[in-house]
Amino acid sequence: MRPRELSRLSSSPSCRPRPEAAAALGLLLLAGCASARPPAPGVAEKAQGAFSWSGRLRASVSGGELRGRSHALVAFERPDAMRIEIPGPSGARLVAVARGNRLWAVLPADRARLESAASAEDLEALIGVPLSPSELMDVLLGKAPPRVRHYRVDWGETLPRRVRAELADGTRLDARVEEAETDAPLPAAAFDPPPCSGCRPIDAAEARRLLSGRQ
């Protein structure tokens, strides 16, 4: 996600599995593998030291009763500002912003708004991934947080292009990065609480129900 795109939106294991085996067994075959495709010397260190990141990805999450996949636009600035947008057919389905220790999320089509703490527990309740914003930043930049049980990175020339993680509670995250850049200027408004005039307040459980389409 390029800065101009973000600005527009903000305003509205075996470590060498055979291909067929990996396709059949997925993440379980990745245990013990630190990296699917190692980076060139110095690339990981530079990526993990980035101040900001913005990009477009396809993510799938499974664990417990949750199983889903979606495209997402993500941007963050260290140490504690993150924006996640899940697009829909006629606009954003979800706009979530974490800054400091607060999390705001708006579901425009449902005219609903959530405000909570920006903890791993609150992000899990909203999007099903029990990681804090800073831990999600590490995951996207090629670094495994302590609570990740298994972690695998496919590196591109300068940044991870795919990350797969199994968390301590068994949740699995698979994110394929379609486009990303680091340390590009991001609009300050990207990390403001998303506006939603007249929206009703909801909790994370209702937000998840609305996002999943359950009635």
Pairing relation of β-strands 200-201 and 172-182? unpaired
The string of pLDDT tens digits covering residues 165-202 is 999 999 999 999 999 999 999 998 999 999 999 999 99
Helix H, strand E, coil C: the string for 75-142 is EEECCCEEEEEEEECCEEEEEEEEECCEEEEEEHHHCEEEEEECCHHHHHHHHCCCCCHHHHHHHHCC
Range of the domain at 70: 3-212
Find the CATH number of the domain harbouring 137: 2.50.20.10
Domain total of the chain: 1
Record the pTM.
0.81
Contact between residue 104 and residue 143 where contact means Cβ atoms under 8 Å apart: no
- pLDDT band of residue 213 (cuts 50, 70, 90) is confident
pLDDT value, residue 126: 92
* pLDDT tens-digit series, residues 148-161: 999 999 999 999 99
Q: Which pLDDT tens digit goes with each residue over 11-70?
A: 443 333 333 333 332 333 333 344 467 899 899 999 999 999 999 999 999 986 667 899
Contacts 24+ apart (CB under 8 A), 100-108: 102/193, 104/193, 104/194, 105/194, 105/207, 106/194, 106/195, 106/196, 106/199, 107/202, 107/207, 107/210, 107/211, 108/196
**Residues with Cβ within 8 Å of residue 150, at least 6 apart in sequence:** 13, 27, 30, 31, 32, 33, 164, 165, 166
pLDDT at 6 over 60: no
| Residue 117 structure tokens | 């703490």
Q: What is the pLDDT of residue 36?
A: 61
DSSP single-letter state for residue 179: E
Of 114, 167, 105, 170, nearest in space to 136 by CA? 167
Tell me the mean pLDDT in the region 161-166: 97
**What's the DSSP call for residue 43?**
H
How many Cα atoms occupy the beta-carbon half-sphere of 80 within 13 Å?
Answer: 9
